Amino acid sequence: MSCADLMETLQMYVDGTTDPEESRRAEDHLAECEDCRHRVEGWRRVARVVAGLEPVMAPEGFADRVMESIRREAAVPRRVAIHDSHESLTVSWTWAAAAGLMIALGLVLWLGPEGSAAANVARGLLQFLASLLGR
């Protein structure tokens, strides 16, 4: 199998979410592939750094202040006209940014491994955005 074919398995292996057969495949590949060994060691270093971070507590009322700021910002009309030869379309920058973020997060979920940390973060951000939109 090629490195590209095993990328998802290797990410899951680092996350500790592989079954025994996947772990064996990952270990066999890592025994033969120096590039993947370096890549996996990099992922492990990042995981150790993240795991060693102290939790940060938000100040009292932080979430309320953020939500109020978002409501005030959303109330200010910021529009840009996009013109082409057929029609004119006005798009709110706020909605355009939110749509772009949702597309990016959706791509992480679609293309990334199911149980990876990136997929879990993307899923949480999508839930947060949906709660902001009242969905």
Rounded-to-integer distance, Cα 13 and Cα 40, Å:
9
Residue 103: its pLDDT value, please?
A: 77
pLDDT of residue 76: 65
pLDDT at residue 26, rounded to an integer? 94
Residue 132: its pLDDT value, please?
67
Phi and psi at 114, nearest 5°, equal -55, -50
Q: Spell out the domain ranges in the chain.
A: 1-56, 59-135
Q: Is 61 left (phi over 0), alpha (psi -120 to 50) or beta?
A: left
Note the pLDDT of residue 83: 55
Mean pLDDT in order along the chain per 10 residues (135 residues):
86 91 94 92 85 79 83 67 53 68 71 68 70 62
Whole-angstrom distance, CA of residue 129 vs CA of residue 67: 12
Residue 64 Cα distances to 60, 61, 67, angstroms? 9, 5, 5
Per the DSSP assignment, residues forming a β-bridge with 89 are: 82
Res 51: pLDDT: 79
